[in-house]
Structure 1
């Protein structure tokens, strides 16, 4: 090897580190600033994750806060991680969320590099996630947005690696995906689409691949599934033992399906002017009515309630196809909305909301341009990114939806937005 070629990779690596370091620092600093300005947010347990974590820390178990009743209403990963941070004190949660923010930027940079994006494109993708207003704001709450976004970026790093998969790396990929679904069950749909895409690619290449290569592909798939099973099976077995049902996801799905598919939501939100949110007396009255209906039907227990709510929602969908279609379109717009509304917008001045709206509008337009670039080029290694967006948007078109729930797809949207800056082949 000529002498002038040897130091080149080292120089490039050092240059990349000089770029990624400030971006990680930017992400951590902005999230720390939000926590400093709104310290009360980290105490607001809006989704009961913190309450469950405190139950686990106290030795009571994964139980409904304030009781000794086992629950599967929330996915287990985030409460269990919170329990390790000593949930009685705020500092552990703060450090955890800051770490997740920095890791997200690092994983996204790696993914962008593996996809062949130029350095300016990598900087843009990482910067978008670093300064994203939604991620900065919800990092200050004990909620799953920070960890889900980090897991999405990590999973994309695994899926876009240019080196051939080994059995060991496939098990690791399955492990990471298992963490994803234990944090938010919506990832299962992404996994199903990824599996279908991968199997389709194997069938398409079957005629050209030697027998040894086909056998290797089967081993890789099996190893990945084993990684998923090893990660998720403890949760399923726990639910089988304490809930008397082998629950794979949660008992929350029926509620979120019914919350988004009922006559009250359609009349009080979908038919109202854009920006109307469902809260206050309307939501409280609906919740009370649902509780009364379950009592009248003698529905007892978390599992039975989940099944009843899911069945009630599906009946509404079957009997009101027109309303359901309109509500799906409404929820899809809620998912991709550029400006917070209702209670989510209350803490902020109008000028800041307009600034946020402009930021997301430009970001979405750039991502749309990225999709156009992909449609004209070779997008094989980009399919995991596209399927991430499709899976979450499709689920939240049917289930409950708002801006916050799109956090897991933001790494993918950032990559798409940065793509038009890269002029070389997609590869």
Structure 2
């Protein structure tokens, strides 16, 4: 008589149970949101006045809210720097009054939307609730992301627009959503002119992530043109305004040539460091108006690149290091605009060092996740191209732009929610592997 062995399922390990609790329990998600919100409200308690770029944007927003138009410091119409952020801020100021308190609350709303989009994109890109929650948690405690909330800089508002545009395309089910994506990307382009580069990137991933790529190409090409066309139409009224008030066609802003030149001259260091001789050369020609001066700067920059291709290529690694190695630049705004900075300088500096270490962990995880995902998809028999590549595409576009212009750590701020999403997936994936082995 033979005995039949009855095998029972292996009980889940304690680690697997904790992961399931983290990914399913509603109280966990509420706790993450509470932490995310509380840290950003807490930083709003710091009094910090707008300085440098932030001061320019803030003054333009106040001027627009008062009905005086988009004017330079002399009171003349200008197209210097993209106007999207001051326009958005002026709409808020016109309703609630112009103050740094209103500014901070507006940024807080944008930051909360960034959190929601981080969670939603995490679920969509990686198909895991636990990974999405981990990404939101990583972003919740990221000091540099928190530090920007009281500042009158573009980064928080722009990041929200960028993520919303990506979400609209990734989740689209009809062409009206494509029109909405075009409007979002159009306004984002008014905040940062290089945003249009993201549109073909998104559709390239969508095109290559499934089979039958050539059969799908005409439809996706048409959808991409629709989004791009709506974005251009969104920008067009500003371009018409520039022609009417400046007597020149200026698509978005008149600082592109200046930015190009300050990143490409004989004493350039890879950062946005205007050389004194460069500034003197531009300012020494008072007969030039703003548009002509920017065109002259562009000519000089392109001429320098053409005459010094070796130096231009040698600057590329320096620009990339300026873009990706340092982090925590929000501290500079507090150093210049917070009255209590000197009293708490040691605290600010300690937070800066802690932030740099945290940033290094995020970026190492971001890099490692690329190879781990490739191996996982190969093992599972999936195409290697998928929406999981979106965070790396978003990281690629400021990288390419900084090689031509200049590198600043501030430029990678909009990429960081995507980095947190990817790092969150990696941590959960590795913990799941460990839980499976334990079980």
TM normalised by structure 2 equals: 0.79
Residue 150 of structure 2 corresponds to residue 140 of structure 1:
yes
Contact 1:73 1:250 in 2 (8 A): yes
Calculate the aligned-residue CA RMSD, in Å: 3.1
Compared with structure 1, are the counterparts of its residues 255 and 106 closer, same or farther at alpha carbon in structure 2 (3 Å cutoff)? same
Change (3 A) 1:134 1:75: same
Aligned residues: 389
Is the aligned partner of 1:73 residue 2:80? yes
CA 290–114 in structure 1, closer or farther in 2 if over 3 Å, else same? same
Match of 2:350 in 1: 351
Structure 2 unaligned segments of length 5 or more: list them: 1-20, 336-340, 378-383, 433-439
- Counterpart Cα distance in 1 of 2:326 and 2:265: 25
Name 2:33's counterpart in structure 1: 24
Task: Give the 5 Å matches for 1:200-215.
Answer: 205-207=213-215
Q: Which residue of 1 aligns with 2:245?
A: 242
Equivalent-residue separation in structure 2 for 1:44 and 1:301 (angstroms): 22
1:401 CA drift (Å): 2.0
Structure 1 residue aligned with 2:419, among 413, 418, 424? Answer: 413
Higher CA-based Rg: 2
What is the rounded CA distance, in whole Å, between the counterparts of 2:192 and 2:67 in structure 1? Answer: 24
Q: Secondary structure at the match of 2:193?
A: coil
Of 85, 90, 97, which aligns to 1:83? Answer: 90
SS in 2 for 1:264: coil
**1:33 lines up with 2:39 in the alignment:** no
- 2:185 aligns with 177
**1:300 and 2:308 are equivalent in the alignment:** no
Residue aligned with 2:49, SS: helix
CA distance in 1, matches of 2:328, 2:102: 29
- Deviation per residue, 1:160-216 (Å, 9 max, x gap): 32xx53111111111121122111112122234345555667995234x6xxxx775
Secondary structure (helix, strand or coil) at the match of 1:61 reads: coil
**Deviations, residues 340-379 of structure 1 (Å, cap 9, x unaligned):** 5795796553433331121011111110111113433233
What runs of 5+ residues in structure 1 fail to find an aligned partner?
A: 1-11, 271-276
> Which moves more between the two structures, 181-190 or 43-52?
43-52
Paired residues of 1:254 and 1:307 also in contact (CA < 8 A): yes
For residues 26 and 225 of structure 2, the distance between their equivalents in structure 1, rounded to whole angstroms, comes to 36
Are residues 1:156 and 2:159 paired? Answer: no
Structure 1 residues 418 and 15: alpha-carbon distance in aligned structure 2, compared to 1, 3 A threshold: closer
TM-score normalised over the length of structure 1:
0.81
CA distance in 1 between counterparts of 2:333 and 2:99 reads 26
Please give the alpha-carbon distance, in whole angstroms, between the structure 2 residues aligned to 1:299 and 1:411. 45
The match for 1:125 is 135
Seen in structure 2, the aligned counterparts of structure 1 residues 134 and 326 have a Cα distance that, compared at 3 Å, is farther
Pick from 193, 201, 213 the counterpart of residue 193 of structure 1.
Answer: 201
- 350-359 or 48-57, which deviates more: 350-359
The change in CA–CA distance for 1:201 and 1:92 in structure 2 (over 3 A counts) is same
